[in-house]
Structures are given as structure tokens and as C-alpha cells.
Amino acid sequence: MAAPGRLITIEGIDGSGKTTLAQALAGVLADRRIDVMLLREPGGVAVSERIRTLVQDPALAVAPRTEALLYAAARAQLVAEALAPALSAGTWVLLDRFVDSSLAYQGGGRELGIDAIRALNAFATGGLTPDRTLLLELDGAAARARAEARPGAADRLELEDEAFFERIRSAYARIAAGEPGRIRVLDAGQPPAQVLRDALAALDGLI
């Protein structure tokens, strides 16, 4: 049987550089002959991608609890269809967002409560926990500038006010403080090459 794979999640507010880091990290792991899969949330499989379109649509008014349930549903499908099989086959999965995003965005940002969202997502994922989480920390002004510089229109959550994102940053800080063994906080204000080096150092013991 293949050795179990590893689940590495990358977290942070919009504009913190998650996608850039995930792609760079996938390249380094592949160069080291590690079988690696790169996925994103919400999405990654057909059902979850359809939910992604729904929750990001700025034309829709989605109630906070509905939002939380939709993200959990997308996550449940991703776990069942992609994550669990890949990890069982020995593949390393780099996942752009996972449960911590819901804890921060819906638990903190939407003020639904971190514990309530944690319980919902424990059910959705069957208790699947990342082996390591890389939390990209970036101040609000810099993150907003990066997000606004990206091509395409802003999605429904990106259009929220600064108070919403401050609650998210605060929630991420509380979550990280509670799980220092799993969550490693990286300074996302550095050049991408340095962020990548810090990420690799944070994976020491897994690689």
C-alpha cells in the first residue's frame, strides 16, 4: 500500500498571495519527486465549482447561514470526490483554502461564531484535518491593493467593507494562536521567492 499523502492548506485574506504560493510550492514538490495535486476552494470538482459560481455571484443576496452551508457542501463534495482518494493513494494535496477559511470568513467575518462553523465543517469533512497550514499574513491596505489589481470583476465577498476583513484577520489570528503546531504564520508582504522559502521551512518535518 502507498504511504498516506499529506494535506497542506494555504490560508489568508483575499490578495495575500495564496494562489501564487500554491503554484510555486507545487513546482518545488514535484521537482523533489513528490506526487502532488493542486486544488482550490470552493471548487476542485464539478459540484463544488458550481457552488463556487453561486457563492461568488455579486448579483445574489446570500444569507450568512446559507453562505456557510454552501461552503460546507462544496467542501464535503471535494473531500469525498478528490481529497480522500488522493490522500489514500499517497498523493500530497496543496489546497488553496479549507476549513480555516470558513472559520475566519463565516465564523468571524459574518459573526456566526467560530465554534458553530467548526462543528458544521467537522461534519462536512468527516473530521479531515490538514497536516500543515500556511497562513499568509498581510495588512489590509496591501491586500486590498493586490486584490484590486487582479483582472476581472470583484466577487461577492471581495466587495465587502473593511470592517468585514478586519474581523476575518482577527479570527485568523485567534485560530492560529490556538493551533501553533499545525498553523505556521508567514509574512506575505515579502517578495514571493522569500515567502516560498519560508513556506518550505514551515514544512520541515513533513518533506
pLDDT tens by residue, 103-151: 999 999 999 999 999 999 999 999 999 999 999 999 877 877 777 777 7
Q: What is the pLDDT of residue 92?
A: 97
pLDDT band at 156 (very low <50, low <70, confident <90, very high): confident
Cell of 2: 502507498
Residue 56: name the closest of 152, 157, 159, 143 by CA: 157
Q: At what angle do helices 140-149 and 162-178 cross, to 10 degrees?
A: 120
Sequence-ordered list of residues with C-beta below 8 angstroms from that of 189, at least 6 positions apart, any chain: 138, 139, 142
Which residue's entry shows cell 497550514?
133
Distance between CA atoms of residues 102 and 55, nearest Å: 13
Q: How far apart are CA 29 and CA 31, in angstroms?
A: 5
Fold of 7-202: Rossmann fold (3.40.50)
pLDDT score for 144: 76
Task: Give the integer Cα–Cα distance in Å for 94 and 26.
Answer: 7
pLDDT of residue 141: 78
Q: pLDDT category, 2, cuts 50, 70, 90?
A: low
- Predicted pLDDT of residue 200: 97
Mean pLDDT of the chain: 94
Rounded CA-CA distance 182/180 in Å is 6
Q: Give kind and range of the element (H or E) at residue 197.
A: helix 192-202
CA distance 35 to 113: 37
State the average pLDDT over residues 186-204: 96
